[in-house]
């Protein structure tokens, strides 16, 4: 469920529970449950990219760099 490229700051993580794989939000809540690890990792990766893009956009907007 982890590999050498995992960023420890990733907001969404994958955890196995009862033979299923949960994508968990930073709050710890399961947002997606998948039957296979590959799908769960793919969803987590997409959600982390979206989270990072939103964070960067908010940071730029907060600094007045983008309207």
Between 9 and 23, the more confident residue is 23
Confidence label for 1 from pLDDT (cuts 50, 70 and 90): very low
Task: Give the least confident one: 14-18, 29-33, 47-51.
Answer: 47-51
67, 10, 5: which is closest to 43 by C-alpha?
10
Summarised one tens digit per residue, pLDDT across range 20-46 is 999 999 999 999 999 999 999 999 999
23, 28, 26, 24: which is closest to 11 by C-alpha?
26
pTM summary value: 0.69
């Amino acid at each position: 469920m982890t590999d050498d490229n995992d960023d420890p700051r990733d907001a969404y993580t994958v955890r196995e529970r009862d033979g299923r794989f949960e994508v968990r939000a930073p709050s710890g809540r399961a947002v997606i449950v998948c039957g296979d690890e590959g799908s769960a990792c793919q969803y987590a990766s997409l959600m982390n990219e979206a989270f990072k893009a939103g964070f960067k956009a908010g940071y730029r907007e907060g600094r007045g760099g983008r309207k």
